[in-house]
Structure 1
Amino acid sequence: MSLGGKWPLRLTVGLLAGAGGLYALYKLTTLNRDREEGESRSGGDCESKKQNLLHRVSCLQVAGDSEGTVDTQQGGVLAKHPDGLEQQHLQVVLGLLQGTSDASTRELALVTVGNSAAFTINQDLIRNLGGLNVIANCLLDEVMSIKVKAMNALNNLSMNVANQEKLKIWIPQILEILEASMLNSELQVAGFRVLTNLSVTNNYHHMMTNSIPHFLKLLVEGTENVKVQVLKVLVNLSANPDLTNDLLCAQAPSSFLLLFDSCVNKEVLLRMLMFVANLRENLNLLQVSSQHEYEVESLHSLLFGNPTQFSHELATLMSHQDNEVKQQVARIITKRA
């Protein structure tokens, strides 16, 4: 739906501001529909629908939980209420993203569409309305907060397999943003959440291989939150045997081995061990059919070339108090060539 000239931009911005923003979207669409159909509605009926619409959207998380996905309990609630925003409301929101350069309006529109994308039915509807590229184009915006909110919306939308196929063309842009963004920034975290969803299957792994050295660097330089988000992507990549050499050939910082210390946060340590265990298992498969030369500074040389230091770290971790950690260490040790 195009806003055209019926509602001036300043009026739209005013209506969208604050807690009444969603009611403004609802009111704009219902007023237009009333005019077209020549129908009149009672104030009580409009108020009831307004409250229903506010309830549908205001209680949702923009980008799921801290893991970057909607948790099980929330997913169950959402499954019982799949309607979310209606098509005409989403058309208004997408129209705002295309039709205005006002930063506050664009931010509110992205939050609204991101919230609605927590509903599976709306993930499909937004795609069918051509909204994926409209939202992804906001990644090109110069305003950092708009980029963050666009990433958050894409995070929810990329949990849909059909949407992933459409969004794959934006993977290079997301990777470029991640390399250029400030270390440990909100934008960096949001971008890796999108990549986590896009790397759940092997379909788009080949598009991320050039960024592997940057991912490994962030494991050393980033905060615990960034490390966890990066490792989610790396664990997904390491589960793909076809990417084993790409990962093992990548240059790794020498301080990479410090991440296997028993004092490292469990969430980071466990994923580090899963990452290496996947590589170890896949490397054994590759060695059956081919030999590969690895550079001295490669991840392979650090882990498996002259594994004295790494072996010492593994031996120490065998006495770790957490059973999951010890299980992953055992995977690495028992799969040694």
Structure 2
Amino acid sequence: MPRGAGFQSEVLAASNLSSREEGEALIYDFAVFDVTKDTLPVLQSWPRRDVESLPWITNQEQPASLIIAPGDQVTLTVWDAEDNSLLAGTGQRATPLQQTQVSTTGRIFVPYIGELQVAGMSPDTARSRIEEELIRTIPSAQVQLVVEAGRQNTANLVTGAAAPGLYQLPDRNFKILDLLSLAGGANPALINPQVRLVRNGRTYGVALDRLLAEPNLDAALQGGDRVMLIGDDRQFVSLGATGVEAVHDFPSQNVTALEAMAIVGGVSDARANPQGILILREYDSGEVRQDQSGPPQERVVFTIDLTSADGLFSAGNFLLEDKDLVYGTESPLGPALTAVGLINTVSTLSNQL
């Protein structure tokens, strides 16, 4: 009878054998592992081809103040209580000075002082330094300083948020989630959003869900950082006697085999063999190991029994990976039931004639 899937014995049998010279034994070109309580510790220790293979940086609390950098715009206002002020006009007490940009060497020009180094200082430290120098010429001078951040004190939210763009870093403790909050959060169309941070030519990555769940990963931004939100591009395929045959996105960072069965609609009640759920996976040749620290061959088939408590519990702890194939094998009773159905149909038609 026609079938939509193979039997478990067929999938794991001769069609997948690699032959040698005549007379020599045939060898499998794949390994088979039952997913059980006993095998899980070994299987979970194998390398994962996961989006989190990128490194990430943990948060280190920084002082709240901003650090002045080249390219920042500095505005000074000098207050002077003297009647004959060198800066203020008659009857004036405050003199706003023209906004000036911090040079590439980190300096600004201040009247009666000249070039003064301010880059690398907090605004309060720079203000005190300018006031200290200015008092030598204007004894009652008091200085007010305002900094407008330049590119070296901004972060670029490139894509994936409601409002991407350049954002000023108000202080050194401005974190990634602060930036995403200002930008309106992640685009709801993204599946399992992934955060990418590019800093000093190096790329870091973490899942947004994990960033939200683990506060120590919410790192402080630095001037010049580029942040991107992208969708999770991992997928798995379901075929055979599963509820649906399709390509599926990973809806979350970790998807277990049991969750995958729910995503694909379980198995076909009339056709499937619930004891023969197979997960087919290919590893890179460099990941092959012979000491149980990795797969013994590049091709591995994991078998799951959904009719036993151990199989169900173990499936709930076995994680799917990118490009896995979830295959529901056919029950041996399926063709027989189909044949019986056809006979009954033919019999009914004959009786009607």
TM-score, length-scaled by structure 2: 0.23
TM-score, length-scaled by structure 1: 0.24
Q: Which has the higher helix share?
A: 1
Tell me which of the two structures has the higher relative contact order, counting C-alpha pairs closer than 8 angstroms and 6 or more residues apart. Answer: 2
**Which one has the largest radius of gyration?**
2
Q: Which has the higher strand share?
A: 2
